[in-house]
Amino acid sequence: MTTLPLPDMSDPLASPHWQALSQGRIAMQRCGACGHVRWPAALSCPECLTEGGEWNTLSGRGTIWGYAVYETPLHPEFAGLCPYAVALVHLEEGPMIHGRMLDPPEELDCGLPVVAVFEQLADGIGIARFRLEQSRGS
């Protein structure tokens, strides 16, 4: 079991996203009126202001928009991972999401294609990590 802070699975607005991650997929809201895919979850679309939205599974593919390399851990449990990188990933479907990269920081660059991989943090709680597309399966 992890000692990292865990997401609030009881949050009625974001819980479908966290539940999807625990099932090995990324899900975000899509506006039924204009089709805008959004994260974080919201009661209405930020593009057209239509209330509601359907939860859709996304591809898990995107590109690195930016990243930071951590030489000093932000949480004691990350100490053994240093240095590690956290990227802001621009998903194919439009939204951006951040996650820890599994590749060495020296292999990363903005614009490189990535794919989500999923890790179980605790019973029923998963998280997305990212790996460079060409290293998938290695």
Q: What is the pLDDT of residues 10-47, one digit of tens each?
A: 898 999 999 999 999 999 999 999 999 999 999 999 99
Q: How many domains does the chain contain in total? A: 1
Q: Does residue 91 lie in a domain region?
A: yes
Q: Does residue 105 lie in a domain region?
A: yes
Give the β-pairing of 113-122 and 125-132: antiparallel
At residue 2 the predicted structure's pLDDT band, cuts being 50, 70 and 90, is low
Residue-number span of the structural domain to which 106 is assigned = 15-135
Nearest alpha-carbon partner for 128 in 102, 108, 94: 102
Q: Does residue 111 lie in a domain region?
A: yes
Across all residues in the chain, what is the average pLDDT? 92
pLDDT at res. 138: 45
Nearest alpha-carbon partner for 42 in 33, 34, 32, 52: 52
Q: Give buried/exposed letters for 104-137 (b at 16+ CB in 10 A, else e).
A: ebeebeeebebbbebeebeeebbbbebbbeeeee
Q: Does residue 1 lie in a domain region?
A: no
Q: Does residue 10 lie in a domain region?
A: no
Q: Does residue 7 lie in a domain region?
A: no
pTM of the model: 0.88
Task: Give the tens place of pLDDT for each residue, 114-125.
Answer: 999 999 988 889
User: Can you tell me the distance from the alpha carbon of 125 to that of 105, in angstroms, rounded to the nearest whole number?
Assistant: 26
Q: Does residue 34 lie in a domain region?
A: yes
DSSP state, residue 64: E
Q: Does residue 77 lie in a domain region?
A: yes
